[in-house]
Structure 1
Amino acid sequence: MRIRIDLAYDGSDFHGWAVQPGLRTVQGEVQQALALALRVPEVWVTCAGRTDTGVHARGQVIHVDTDPETLERSAGRSALPPAQALVRKLNGILPADVRVQAAREVPDEFDARFSALWRRYAYRVADRPTAYDPLTRHHVLHWPRELDLAAMNTAAADLLGLHDFTSFCKAREGATSIRRVERLHWDRDASGTATMTVLADAFCHSMVRALVGCLLAIGEGRKPVAWAAEMLERAERSSDIHIASPRGLTLEEVGYPPDTDLAGRLLITKARRQESELG
C-alpha cells in the first residue's frame, strides 16, 4: 500500500531536504522517524520538491510504501485508524522543527513528485522598517531599501508561460530547464511585508531564488524592467543574476489531480520535455 504524508518544516537548521552523509536533513529525520514508527529497518520516501538548505515548507508532500499489516501493527492499541495513528506517532518522534499534518492511503499510481500538477512557493521580504520583525527573521528576508513592487510585477509578467529558464537555474546534467510559470506576482500584506507568489508545474534547481534575485535588482532600481525578459531570452546561466537567500522561501502548497487521473498524469510528467514544445 502507498501512504501520502503531508508535512511542514522550518528549514533553518537543515542542510536541505535530501539525505546527505553526516548532515542533518529533512528527509533523513523523516525516514528515521518512519522506520521507528513502522518498526522496520529502513524506509525510503519520495517528496514533491527537494528544498535547498535553509528553505522552509508548509505544504510538502511525500509518499512511502508499506503493507497493511505493518501499518496496523504500528498503530498498536490506538483507537484511531492506522493512518491517523501514524500521524500521532510520527509527531511524537520527530523534532519540533518538523510536523506531520496528515497521512492517508492513496492509489499505487500516486507519486508525490511525478503526479503533481503544480507547486506554489512564497518568498517574503521586509523592505520597510515597520515590517522588520525579529520573531520572523528566519523566514523573512530583511532588505535595506524599499522595493518598487509595480516595476517588479511588470517585469514578472514577461516571465509567465512556457519558457526555457536556463538563465535562472543551476545546470544539472540530463535535466531540462523548460518550465511553465502560471503565476508570478508581488503583494504586500498588512504588516507591509512584500511577498512574491510563484506557481509553476515544476522548478529547476535554485530557480525560485534566482527569479527573486532578478526581481529584487529591478525593484530597487539597479536594473531596468526589461532586464528580466532579456535574461530569459539569453537562455544562459549568468552570474549577473544573484540567487537570493533561502531564508525568505517557503514551499506553500502542491496540487494534484483527482485519483482517477493519476495514471495519465504520470505518463505526461515522466516524458521529458523537448525544445520543440517552446514552438
Structure 2
Amino acid sequence: MTSSDIPVYKLNDGHVLPQIGLGTYQVRGMQGVDVILSAIQMGYRLIDTSTNYDSEGAVGEAIRRSGIPRSEFYVTSKLPGQYHHREDALKMIEESLLRMGLDYLDLYLIHWPLPKRDNYVEAWTALVEAQKRGLIRSIGVSNFEAEHLDRIIDTTGVVPAVNQNEIHPYWIQENLLKDNQKRGILTEAWSPLGRGSQSLKEDVVATLADKYHKNVGQIILRWHIQRGILPIPKAGTLNHLHENIKLWDFELTQDEVTAINRLTQPDGRVDNQDPNTYEEFN
C-alpha cells in the first residue's frame, strides 16, 4: 500500500490527516529511526510523537533519511504538563521543532489537561498563538473531557481540530466520541489495540478475523475507522507494522461494530489514567 491509497479525514480547520497514524511511544534512538523509516517505506505518513516519548529526534531523522518531501508528512507532537504556562509552552513548541529539525508541525496537542494544576486554558492560548505564528498548522488536545473542551473553546473561541483519547474495545468512549463529534472535533485513539489486552482474544474479534481473513489487530483498527476515529497504533514487529496499514479492502457490518462495542467495561482503562485526576509523568 502507498500513502496515496490511505483515505483522509478532513479537520474543522480545512487541513486533512490520513485515517491511520504511527505511534512512537518507546520508539527511540537509532533503532527507532529504523522502525519509523520502515513505516514510512510502507506508506505511513502521519507520525505521532511527544516530548515525553523522547522520540522527536528519531522522527525528524527518519523523515530526513526517507528522501520524501517534508510536505508529504503529517507530524504530531504534544506539550508536556510541566510547560502549561504560556511562555514555557511557546518555547517548548520551538524546542520540539529544533529537536526534529522541522520548520512547522502539522498537529500539536496539549498532552493532558491536568485539571488539578488548572493551567490548560493558558496552555491552549499558547497553541493558538503558535498557530498564528505559523509554527503549527492544526492545534488540538489529548485526554480532554467535554468540560475541558468547553472551557478552552469558551475562553478563546477556538475549537480544537483533534482530541486524542484512550479508546479500545474495553473502553469504547461512546459518549466522549459523540461529545467530540458534536463540537466538530476529530477523535484520535491512543492505545487503539488496548496495549495487547485480553480484548484481542475475545471470541467476537477472533470470529471476525476468520470471516474477513484478517488478524485481530486489523479487525479492531477497522472498527475504529468505521466509528469515525483515527487510530494511532504502534507495532512490535515489522509484520504488524505492515498489516496495520491494510485496512481498506474490507468493511465490518454495523451489527459487527456494535458487537465489538459491547466488549466495553466500566473500568476498561489500561492503566486507570482518568483525565480528571491523572498527574502526567514528566
- TM-score in terms of structure 2 length: 0.28
Q: Which has the higher contact order (CA 8 A, sep 6+)?
A: 1
For the pair shown, the structure with the greater C-alpha radius of gyration is: 1
Greater share of strand: 1
* Larger helix proportion of the pair: 2
- TM-score normalized by the length of structure 1: 0.28
